[in-house]
Amino acid sequence: MPTKIKLKRGFDIRLQGEADPNKVTRATSDLYAVKPTDFRALAPKLEVKAGDRVRAGDPLFSDKYRPEVKFTSPVSGIVEEVRRGEKRRVMAVVVRADEQIAYKPFDAPSLDRLTKEGLIALLLESGLWPLIKQRPYDIVADPGARPKGIFATAFDSAPLAPDYRLLLKDDARALEAGLEALGKLAPLHVNAREDQASVLPARLPAGARVHFFEGPHPAGNAGVQIHHLAPLGKGETAWTISLPDAALVGRLLLEGRVDARKRVAITGPEVTGPGYAETIAGARVGCLAEGGEGRRMISGNALTGDRVEEDDFLGFYHRQVTVIAEGNRPEFLGWALPGFGKLSMSRTFPAFLFPRRRYRADTNLRGEERAFVVSGQYEKVLPMDVLPVYLLKAILAGNVEKMEQLGIYEVAPEDLALCEFACTSKVPVQEIVARGIALMMKELS
């Protein structure tokens, strides 16, 4: 019997531009890339240079400090460039794709012969290992760790998030195989929503447990779910993966190759005809949606996604592109007018009277940064037994002991994204949490 967990705190941001489930188009890109910046705290070691020929599944770069963790090309083709940013930091390894994808063959044993060690080795070699992340720190999992569980998220509760049922529609077999395999790594927990339970495969591996989560965003976040199922103490680890990524693992096992095809939701108020696109991981964002002057393109959702331009690439973990208007216009007496049609959780705006309304939000900061003034605001959107403001203050003060006590091991920036959204004082919450995680990793290494 699935356990049911009902979360009350949180908030569903209702934006315009939800992806139409009946609209699925094919989007092929000329360029594909893997971006080291998608992985927290990763120091990449390049395995290729511009001009090299790669197959789908050949490594592009690896983790400098854990060389067994490889990041492989989603397509075959010629390495177009190694894009660098400030201080020559590697931003992306870009591959110009062949017409026909050539796959590097992997020797995938059948599921009943697959061992834990064999699976880890296969995932590392094929570049699918980074799909598994770990808490604490929300980084690529440490293959040598002994996690207390592997938690598969079966829904996404973020604004305009894709419907996993649609993403996985033609992948039932791969999903089943993927979960079967992941169940060998650690006790498997699948965290679903009851009304989207059809996303679950007919047969789950023995010992796997299903949990139903109910409630507003961030109920779909792995961090929130783990907090309620198996809270992490010091020294403990949990692994996380999303259900569509589990299907990629399944494809590798069934086909013996890295088949990085992905369905991506193209969403947001600035998208004409929002729907789903059939593409490949790391596709150029410009091939998926239209940006341009006055528009903000985001790989991912509007709360946690990365700001991208048309010649940037879809994030490694992302199955969503959001396009919203830039809000770089001053607004006359914007704080004083009644503000009908403005998106706000605060009842100082009339939005709370129209709970069904969808909003055309833009990127305006809606004010200036201030010291913490209003209290009790963050707690309303964080369904965890964590005192967010005290945690943030501990991070700002660099107090490692307090950070540990107040829950730094349990949170990722995405879990506190709504705090940042709702903040009256416009505090950059996610940036602070990321800084805190970086500090912990440095202190404990």
Partner 1 sequence: MKFLRSFLDKHRPAFEKGGRLQSLHSLFAGIEAFLYVPDRVTRSGCAIRDAVDLKRTMSVVVVALLPALLFGMYNVGYQHHLATGGGGDFWSMFLHGFARVLPLIIVSYAVGLGIEFAAAQLRGHEINEGFLVTGLLIPMVMPVTAPLWMVGLSTAFAVIIGKEIFGGTGMNIWNPALLARAFFFFSYPSRMSGDKVWVDGLPDGMSVATPLAEASQGEAFAHDLGTMFWGLVPGSVGETSAFCILLGAALLLVTGVGSWKIMTAVAIGGAGMALLLQQALPETNPYSQVTVARHLLSGGFAFGAIFMATDPVTAAQTSAGKWVYGLLVGVMAILIRALNPGYPEGMMLAILLMNTFAPLIDWCVVQQNIRRRMKRGVSHVNRQPT
Q: 232 to 251, contacts with partner 1 by CB under 8 A?
A: 233
Of 176 and 415, which has the nearer Cβ to partner 1? 415
CA distance 348 to 337: 11
Of residues 363-392, those binding partner 1 (CB under 8 A): 363-368, 370-376, 379, 383-387, 389-390
Backbone dihedral angles phi then psi of residue 349, each to the nearest 5 degrees: -110, 155
| Amino acid (one-letter) located at 286 | G
CA distance 215 to 362: 25
Q: How far is the CB of 198 from partner 1 (least distance, A)?
A: 23
Point out which residues pair with 280 in neighbouring strands: 261
Point out which residues pair with 307 in neighbouring strands: 298
148 binds partner 1 (CB under 8 A): yes
Of 115 and 328, which has the nearer Cβ to partner 1? 328
Q: How far is the CB of 199 from partner 1 (least distance, A)?
A: 21
Of 12 and 278, which has the nearer Cβ to partner 1? 12
Q: How far is the CB of 64 from partner 1 (least distance, A)?
A: 25
**CA nearest neighbour of 239 among 149, 137, 119:** 149
Of 130 and 407, which has the nearer Cβ to partner 1? 407
Of residues 61-80, those binding partner 1 (CB under 8 A): none
Of residues 212-231, those binding partner 1 (CB under 8 A): 228-231
Of residues 10-49, those binding partner 1 (CB under 8 A): 13, 15
400 binds partner 1 (CB under 8 A): no
CA distance 390 to 108: 48
Of residues 81-110, those binding partner 1 (CB under 8 A): none
Longest distance between any two alpha carbons in the chain, whole Å: 68
Q: How far is the CB of 241 from partner 1 (least distance, A)?
A: 19
The region of 36-44, 53-61, 100-108, 399-407 touching partner 1 under the rule CB under 8 A is 399-407
Of residues 269-328, those binding partner 1 (CB under 8 A): 296, 298, 302-305, 307, 322, 324, 326-328
Are 34 and 318 in contact by the 8 Å Cβ rule? The answer is: no
Give whole-number Cα distances, 41 to 20, 135, 441, in Å.
Answer: 36, 14, 9
Of 104 and 296, which has the nearer Cβ to partner 1? 296
Among 332, 355, 356, 445, binds partner 1 (CB under 8 A): 332
CA distance 2 to 196: 13
Of 142 and 236, which has the nearer Cβ to partner 1? 236
Of residues 344-363, those binding partner 1 (CB under 8 A): 344-349, 351, 361-363
The region of 40-48, 118-126, 162-170, 422-430 touching partner 1 under the rule CB under 8 A is 422-430
CA distance 322 to 160: 8
CA distance 79 to 102: 14
**CA nearest neighbour of 75 among 45, 37, 103, 49:** 103
Of residues 154-193, those binding partner 1 (CB under 8 A): 159
Backbone dihedral angles phi then psi of residue 182, each to the nearest 5 degrees: -60, -30
Of residues 118-137, those binding partner 1 (CB under 8 A): none
**Alpha-helical regions (H) of 127-242:** 164-167, 172-182, 222-229
The region of 68-76, 258-266, 283-291, 404-412 touching partner 1 under the rule CB under 8 A is 404-412
Q: How far is the CB of 26 from partner 1 (least distance, A)?
A: 27
Q: How far is the CB of 207 from partner 1 (least distance, A)?
A: 14
Of 250 and 388, which has the nearer Cβ to partner 1? 388
Of 249 and 298, which has the nearer Cβ to partner 1? 298
CA distance 11 to 52: 47
Of 218 and 256, which has the nearer Cβ to partner 1? 218
**Element housing 422 (H / E):** helix 417-422
Packing angle between helix 243-255 and helix 116-126, nearest 10 degrees? Answer: 100
Among 95, 277, 422, 437, binds partner 1 (CB under 8 A): 422
CA distance 75 to 70: 15
Preceding omega of 136 cis (within 30 degrees of 0) = yes
